[in-house]
Amino acid sequence: MSASLEQVAKRVGWYSDPARLLANPDLFLARVMARGGSEDVVEVLRHFSIDALRRAYLHAPPGLFTKRAWAYWGLVLVNDAARPMPERFPNANRLDWRKAT
């Protein structure tokens, strides 16, 4: 990958190795969409297609996006700002801990 993408990877994943992040393009693109600035998005679009961003958005891990970023990219990529965010614990709101014992 290019040195410019490595710099983007350092900014959006400062706590992990840039080469390791770049080895997983879907996670890298999701982090850019969730945490990157406009200059990061412009740089990524020089190397990746809109379809790659759409795939990364649709397969994003739970807990990465804010509601605002999720709605923005949902509108831009899939024309659906109300698309539900990925959940860490699906159906957790239906669990009644008092009945679990």
> Of the candidates 67, 97, 98, which has an alpha carbon nearest to the alpha carbon of residue 84?
67
Examine residue 101 and state whether it is found in any structural domain, yes or no: no
Number of structural domains (the chain) is 1
Instruction: State pLDDT tens for residues 14-57.
Output: 888 999 999 999 999 999 999 999 999 999 999 999 999 999 99
CB of 43 closer than 8 Å to CB of 5 = yes
| Domain coverage including residue 33 | 3-91
* CA triple 88-11-25, angle to 5 deg: 60
Instruction: State pLDDT tens for residues 75-93.
Output: 999 999 999 999 887 776 7
Examine residue 40 and state whether it is found in any structural domain, yes or no: yes
Confidence of residue 66 (pLDDT cuts 50, 70, 90): very high
Examine residue 63 and state whether it is found in any structural domain, yes or no: yes
CB of 13 closer than 8 Å to CB of 33 = no
Examine residue 32 and state whether it is found in any structural domain, yes or no: yes
Amino acid identity of residue 35, one-letter, is R
For residues 18 and 94, what is the distance between their CA atoms, to the nearest angstrom?
39
